[in-house]
Structure 1
Amino acid sequence: MAKRIQFSRHGGPEVLEYVDYEPAQPGPNEVRVRNRAIGVNFIDNYYRDGLYAPPSLPSGLGTEGAGEIEAVGAGVTHLKVGERVAYATGPLGSYSELHVLPAANVVRLPESIGFEQAAAVILKGLTVQYLLRQTYPVKRGDIVLFHAAAGGVGSIACQWARSLGAKLIGVVGSAQKAEQAKALGAWATIDRTREDIRQRVLELTGGAKCPVAYDSVGKDTWEISLDCVAPRGLMVSFGNSSGAVSGVNLGILAQKGSLYVTRPTLGSYANSAENLQTMADELFEMIASGAITLDVARRVALSDAARAQTELAAGRTTGSTVLLPD
């Protein structure tokens, strides 16, 4: 038997249950990982509250973790028992002591990266990799807009953008978070609680606006972000922390300068074991070089996962939170 977090109905953090369960044996092309640290991400809230539908209920939660291979299924030849690994993509169930998942979703973890570091960075870091290196390949001198710049993803984006020679304008929710984003490499910050985002972007860019805006907030900032994108620029909507964007009128894109819009996901970029490992290797190299440093701001017991999600949803966190098996 092992312990895990599960939920049997949708709702707030109070629906999370800490239960005993019987871990499955890995099937063909699967591995079982003994988690040493588990990542906490906003997308976990979406599955819990029903914005995204899990395959069935009761359901496990979480998609990110790091640990050691405990068992391998038939057909797995590139991973072996005892190997240090990390993972960032499904199936749900990483909020657990043991997790079974496809071997193709697992990457080898260098000795230089600790389990807590890996669990804190693998999903967020891979997200930044595809955003800045693939969705819109950021170039030296680009002025880009990035929402939630002091959060888990934003903290990495500030550093990665700086290493590329880009100028990242970070939108944050407080003066304290503005200071943190600047310390991490943001070229400029906008405190949305007391500054007009549109006006500040015009001032910072000399009226030119940004070639790309990265927006993880969703409904509340959708049109604001569009107004910050230069003609024929790209709007990247990659999250829904304020709710999903819906009822989009494509005519708005024409009115605001023939804009492009994309709604990317990690799975569409890390769509093979080879692509996933290549992306992870670039992330690990950035960490090893010192270009990206990690802030594991909170360590919470797995049994207390509801508290971690409450803090994240309320916007009271900076950096990354990890769960540690009890």
Structure 2
Amino acid sequence: MAPIPKSMSGILIEENGGVEALKWKTDLPVPQLQDDEILVRNEFAGVNYIDTYFRTGLYKAPLPLITGKEGAGVVVASSSPNFKEGDRVGYVADHSYAELAAVPASKAIRLPEGISTEQAASCLLQGLTALTFVREAGGIKQELGISLGPWTLVHAAAGGTGSLLVQILSVMGAKIIGTAGGSEKCGIAKKNGAGWVIDNRSEDVAARVKEITSGHGVDVIFDGVGKATFDLDLEIIARKGKLIIFGNASGPVPPIDILKLGAKNISILRPVMFNYTVTREEWEQYSAELFDLILTGKLNIGIHNTYALKDVGQAHSDLEGRKTTGKLILKI
């Protein structure tokens, strides 16, 4: 194995802002391992909307910052008894936009045969988000069966997380409505398992939901868009429905009058995947289930594009510009 260098390349945020805030550096210090950490030589890093929130300052973090929440590669040093040099791992932890990352062992998982580092960096954060939100926030279990599954709706159903939500909901037997913009994205949502797809550029979403569900409405809504779709969600949700808001692609949802929820006994959740995978048992359980879905062909990780690490600004622009229909990854 190659020796550990004294400096490394990576992306540094010194001030919050637009994509110009993502500075390519070649002289960053290599992180020093703390107790129960592993040093991973990253091969790939995932690009996620949460990365843009830390870049802009919507989510606060001390600066300067190496951002990135998801990566995969090979262990080159370890202070953990559970990992050794040479292990192939994936992880959901900070600072993946760099050549090397010090990762808490509790947030890493050894990759099984058949799962590449490219796949791991493409699936872990969004895949675990989709899986835990379906299971925990939505309360949707596979034993419901096709005919008994709840009415569900996924906004941005052709995007990275949206595509995975649709596929997992299909496995669980839910009745799935997807929304997407344009015929190409609608086709992707349909291919991934949505039984009904609404083009939100040309169709009245509320009217179509009423028609599709025969007036019942949607039992569980998965909304990563945020501000732009929130009022629509309250209109189309069924009595006793669950509204799961997990993203701010159009901006954060403004404060609401809680009395509005009483009209239909609506439950609103703002879950965070990390709080569903706190214990090692939870982390391993959900990671194993996610890998099994991939290995058995039930879940396809669609990669929209692969960028060089120094071109991460273009990846952020494409993501924020709604130009993508799957996962974006960085090759380190």
| Structural RMSD (CA) | 1.0
Which of the numbers 302, 307, 314 marks the counterpart of 1:295? 302
Confirm or deny: 8 A CA contact 2:166 2:189 kept in the other structure: yes
Deviations 1:44-94 (A, max 9, x none): 10000010001x111111110111111112xx1111111111112x33x11
CA displacement at 1:115 relative to structure 2: 1.1
Deviations 1:24-55 (A, max 9, x none): 1211011111111110011110000010001x
Residue in structure 1 matched with residue 36 of structure 2 by the alignment: 29
1:269 paired with 2:276, answer: yes
Partners of 2:304 and 2:115 in 1: CA distance: 17
Q: Which amino acid aligns with 1:47?
A: F
Residue in structure 1 matched with residue 3 of structure 2 by the alignment: none
Partners of 1:135 and 1:60 in 2: CA distance: 30
Residue in structure 2 matched with residue 78 of structure 1 by the alignment: 82
Residue in structure 1 matched with residue 241 of structure 2 by the alignment: 233
Residue in structure 2 matched with residue 253 of structure 1 by the alignment: 261
Partners of 1:143 and 1:131 in 2: CA distance: 15
Residue in structure 1 matched with residue 91 of structure 2 by the alignment: 87
Residue in structure 2 matched with residue 307 of structure 1 by the alignment: 314
Residue in structure 2 matched with residue 196 of structure 1 by the alignment: 204
Matching of residues 149-160 of structure 1 within 5 Å: 149-160=157-168
Confirm or deny: 8 A CA contact 1:116 1:296 kept in the other structure: no
Partners of 1:129 and 1:308 in 2: CA distance: 25
1:64 paired with 2:66, answer: no
Partners of 1:50 and 1:174 in 2: CA distance: 31
Name the SS for the 2:157 alignment partner.
coil
Partners of 2:111 and 2:139 in 1: CA distance: 26
Residue in structure 2 matched with residue 324 of structure 1 by the alignment: 331
Residue in structure 1 matched with residue 292 of structure 2 by the alignment: 285
Q: Which amino acid aligns with 2:213?
A: T
Name the SS for the 2:227 alignment partner.
coil
Partners of 1:319 and 1:107 in 2: CA distance: 23
Confirm or deny: 8 A CA contact 2:91 2:103 kept in the other structure: no
Q: Which runs of 5+ in 2 are unaligned?
A: 1-6
CA displacement at 1:273 relative to structure 2: 2.0
CA displacement at 1:299 relative to structure 2: 0.7
Q: Which amino acid aligns with 2:135?
A: R
CA displacement at 1:137 relative to structure 2: 2.2
Confirm or deny: 8 A CA contact 2:133 2:273 kept in the other structure: no
Partners of 1:222 and 1:12 in 2: CA distance: 25
Confirm or deny: 8 A CA contact 2:222 2:246 kept in the other structure: yes
Confirm or deny: 8 A CA contact 2:14 2:63 kept in the other structure: yes
CA displacement at 1:14 relative to structure 2: 1.0
Residue in structure 1 matched with residue 4 of structure 2 by the alignment: none
Q: Which amino acid aligns with 1:72?
A: S
TM-score normalised over the length of structure 2: 0.94
Partners of 2:54 and 2:280 in 1: CA distance: 25
Residue in structure 1 matched with residue 129 of structure 2 by the alignment: 127
CA displacement at 1:309 relative to structure 2: 0.5
Q: After the TM superposition, which segments of 4 or more aligned residues of structure 1 sit over 6 Å from their partners?
A: none
Confirm or deny: 8 A CA contact 1:213 1:228 kept in the other structure: no
Confirm or deny: 8 A CA contact 2:90 2:121 kept in the other structure: yes
Confirm or deny: 8 A CA contact 2:155 2:224 kept in the other structure: yes
Which of the numbers 131, 137, 140 marks the counterpart of 2:139? 137
Q: Which runs of 5+ in 1 are unaligned?
A: none
Residue in structure 2 matched with residue 175 of structure 1 by the alignment: 183
Partners of 1:170 and 1:70 in 2: CA distance: 43
Q: Which amino acid aligns with 1:84?
A: R
Matching of residues 92-131 of structure 1 within 5 Å: 93-131=95-133
Q: Which amino acid aligns with 1:181?
A: A
